[in-house]
Amino acid sequence: MVSAPKENEQLIEKIIFINRVAKVHKGGRRFRFSAIVVVGDGAGRVGYGLGKAPEVPDAIRKALEKARKNMIKVPVIEGTIPHPIIGEYGAAKVLLKPGPPGTGVIAGSTVRAIMDAVGIRDVVTKCIRSTNPHNVVKATFQALESLQSPEYVAKKRGIPLEKVSGESHGEAA
């Protein structure tokens, strides 16, 4: 799912983490860089990418290309997520809870960048175990991929949409 060039101008690009790695040789140190980047349209589509290169701009460019290729669709309802969820990856565990209108994004820098890129305005998050940016990004994406829209749940259960929407808002309060 590569985006068209017109859409690229409207995408939100956020750099989450840049890491420098040194390899020691006989003549001195050789540095390489890795960058984690998040790209989103602010309307429910988001992707992340990891790029590695000898120079920072090249690493960021590679990460942006991968992020655009790996975009996922996230159900966003009135600026928040449909239900609470926990995402896990490695030692990282991320809790995402919907917030009432006006809450804002209560999150650390890594999760905040993802929420801003996807277009979620009201959410409460917490990184419970590891705060390693690589694993936190993957845990957050695992949680976002696992979110189910009320329409999907209503169809799956065979009940009216109003019943599902009422239940999800009741749990969030």
**Spatial distance between the Cα atoms of 14 and 94, rounded to a whole number of angstroms:** 19
| Number of domain units in the chain | 2
CATH (domain of 86): 3.30.230.10
Residues 93 and 167 in one domain: yes
**Residue range(s) defining the domain that contains residue 106:** 74-172
Residue 165: per-residue pLDDT: 65
Residues 66 and 80 in one domain: no
Burial class (CB in 10 A: 0-12, 13-18, 19+), 67: buried
- pTM for the full model? 0.85
Q: Longest Cα pair distance anywhere in the chain, in angstroms?
A: 70
Residues 161 and 83 in one domain: yes
Residues 25 and 79 in one domain: no
Characterize the bridge pairing of strands 72-73 and 45-53: antiparallel
Residues 28 and 84 in one domain: no
Taking only the tens of pLDDT, the chain with its 173 residues reads: 444 444 445 899 999 999 999 999 999 999 999 999 999 999 999 999 999 999 999 999 999 999 999 999 999 999 999 999 999 999 999 999 999 999 999 999 999 999 999 999 999 999 999 999 999 999 999 999 999 888 888 888 888 877 776 554 444 43
Residues 16 and 54 in one domain: yes
CATH (domain of 28): 3.30.160.20
